[in-house]
Structure formats: C-alpha cells, structure tokens
Amino acid sequence: MVLAWFGGMAFTFLMRLQLPGEWYPAARPAAQFFRWDGLVNMAMATALALACGALLRRRPVPALVLVLAASALGTLPLGEAEIPLAQFLAAEVAVFFIAAERPRGTGLAAVVMAIATLGGYLAVRLLCGWPIGVSSETAVALTTVIAWLLGDSVRESREHAEELRARAAAQAVSDERLRIARDLHDMVAHSIGVIALQAGAARRVIDTRPERARDALGEIETAGRQTLSGLRRMLGGLRGSEQGRPASPGALETASLERGSGLADVDRLAAATTQAGVRVDVRRLGEPRPLPPEIDVSAYRIVQEAVTNVVRHAGTASCRVSIDYRDDEVRIEVLDDGRGGDTGGGYGLIGMRERVGVLHGTFAAGPRPEGGFRVEARLPVPAGVR
C-alpha cells in the first residue's frame, strides 16, 4: 500500500513537469502545487499514508480512514475537480487487502467507506460552488469496486482451500485409524489362536499330565493378560485422541509386506528399499526382545512411513534407522542428509504422531542443523513385559 502511494505521488509530479521532448506538461499544475503550502499538504498526506501502512494488518478500518484522508488531503494542492486515480491508488490497494484478509462484512464496510469518500469530496466542491469531475470520479469508484471484488475472490479461494484441507485431514484420520484397527484385529486374532491351541492341549493332557496342563493354562493367562493390556492401551488412546487430527493416508510403495509386520521385518524393508535405490542402514542398540504386538506393529509402521518419506521427498541416496531397546521404552530414529521433510501434504508426519499418541509415547520430527531431516519416536513399554 505504501509503495502504491509513492508510485501515485511520483506519477503526479511527473505529469506536472515538462519532460524531455514535451512542449508543455501533460497536466497544468495548480498555483499552490510547488509552493510551500502545497508541499506541506503533500508531506502531511504522505505521513498519513505511512501511518496507514503501519496499522493496516492490526487495525484495518482505522488504517483505511487514514489513507482515505491522505487521498483527499493530497488532492487539495492539485486543483483537481475530483480525487485522481493516482491519489486513490493506495486506498484501493488497502481495500483489496482488507477484503482478502478480513471477513466479508469488514470488506464491504471498507469499499463503502472508500466510495463515500469519493462522493463526499464531490459534495464539498459542489457546496463551495466549484466544478466537479463526475465521469472521472465514476471511473475511480469502478476501479475501487474491482479491487474489492478481487480481494473478496482471494478470501473465498483461501476459505475453500482450507475447507478442502480440513476434509482431507478428516479422511486421513479415518484411513489411519482403519489401519490401526486392522493391526489390532491381527494382534487379537493371533492371541486368540494361541489361546485356543493352548486350551486344546490342556484339555487333552489334563488327566494324564497335569503339569503340562498347568503350563498351558499359564500360557493362556499370559496371552490373555497381554492382549487385554494392549487393547486397553490402544483403545484408550484412540478415545482420548483429538478429533480432526490428520493421519497418514499412504503406505510404503517400495515393499509390499503383509499387515501385522513388526520390528523383525525392518531388515526386509531395508533390503527392499535399497533395491529401489535408497540405501537403508539399520542399527540396533540394547538387547532386542519381544514387544507387545500393538507396540511392535506401530513401531514398524513408523519406520515404514519415515523411510517412505525419505524415498519420496528427501532426494538422497541413503538414510539410517536406529532402534534402541531400553528398559522402559523403544526409541526409533530415522536420519537422512537430503532436503528432508514430509513435503507430500503433511499427513505422513502427523500420521506417525497419531500412532505414537495412541500408545502414549512422544514424537519429534524436523530439519537437522547440519542438514537433512530427523524423525524420532519413543514408545513406552508396559512394566509387565520389560
């Protein structure tokens, strides 16, 4: 808006100077234009325009009042019968930004104020018995309305884009939770299968070998408790998670692995990704041990999604996956030295965050100071299975 004001001022002065090749200026300057009083008016109008530029984002309506006053004040030394377009250009830019950034009601108020200023300037000249330029002022009013229409169109486009993003985010949440439900189904089906086998074995040997039946019942109890604990953790996390958070809609395209994969399949994932052109170095720390199925599957999914982002977006030839088995948690870290990030719409990273949140863990992702991108997830391991 400030640039538009200074551009209009420069045009005004150029029109009233005899430029090289001209016999006379394009516009006749008024008697006071180059006098001290005219220059003071121009300076005061410029100060009002600068104040408008400082206030436009925070207080748009008062800022518009200032630039409208600057337009009228800057016209007085010109001796014009109307406010010229050059003096009103900054006000039109201000109307555009207000219509684009603020609610529709504020934009309508801005365009009405601008047109009222044009009409008020003509009315004052009529009351003073001076001539007015109705046709020229109508053209300025028309360009003001066009500026408002353009700004309103920008606002509607932005609101429509935000609505589409919200719908895509909601759909992505549903897709990710459906994947979690499928993983949960696989975990429960496996546990129920183990329980059924152990129960059948106990029934067959309960009379002849009671100690074997006792061991089988112990296995049934352990499997049942672990499955129930996993269900409580995952379902509790799903109930407590915030609605509307987007999740990852995609799965790894470089390796086609069945549902229910765990950290033991990371090496197979790394081999398939390496064959696709991105070398994956896997490093394990601590003592690898069996994990609850819901943690094992989610940990694998996080590694899978992070490696997918490297393949799709990082633009690098390698990455490193670290799996750290600690006493009370499993820590996963994926590092690359490419341009980094989840540039495919943001759902991959937030989908990983969704899985970690379900298991009450912590998640962090962002660019590395030395270059590249880092993804880290910490999944707590229940005390009963440490």
pTM of the model: 0.54
3-state secondary structure of 242: coil
Answer yes or no: is pLDDT of 139 > 50: yes
Q: How far is 345 from 274, CA to CA, in rounded Å?
A: 25
- End-of-domain residue from the set 240, 271, 287: 240
Answer yes or no: is pLDDT of 326 > 50: yes
Q: How far is 114 from 148, CA to CA, in rounded Å?
A: 10
Residues 236 and 267 placed together within one structural domain of the fold: no
3-state secondary structure of 323: strand
Residues 303 and 233 placed together within one structural domain of the fold: no
- Which tokens go with 126? 């009529």
- Total length of the chain: 386
User: What range does the domain containing 230 cover?
Assistant: 173-240
Amino acid at 67: V
Residues 208 and 104 placed together within one structural domain of the fold: no
- Taking CA atoms, 351 is separated from 17, 155, 173, 183, 261, in Å, by 64, 29, 8, 15, 18
pLDDT in tens, 36-88: 888 898 999 999 999 999 999 999 999 999 999 999 998 888 888 899 999 99
What pLDDT, on the 0 to 100 scale, is given for residue 87? 92
**The residue to which tokens 């993003």 are assigned:** 165
Of the given ranges (62-76, 222-236, 288-302, 321-335), which has the lowest mean pLDDT?
222-236
DSSP string computed for 54-85:
HHTTT-HHHHHHHHHHHHHHHHGGGT-SS--H
Residues 294 and 217 placed together within one structural domain of the fold: no
Q: How far is 204 from 198, CA to CA, in rounded Å?
A: 10
Residues 23 and 83 placed together within one structural domain of the fold: yes
What pLDDT, on the 0 to 100 scale, is given for residue 377? 92
In a domain, 140, yes or no: no
**Structural domain tally of the chain?**
3
3-state secondary structure of 330: strand
In a domain, 352, yes or no: yes
What pLDDT, on the 0 to 100 scale, is given for residue 144? 95
Residues 56 and 22 placed together within one structural domain of the fold: yes
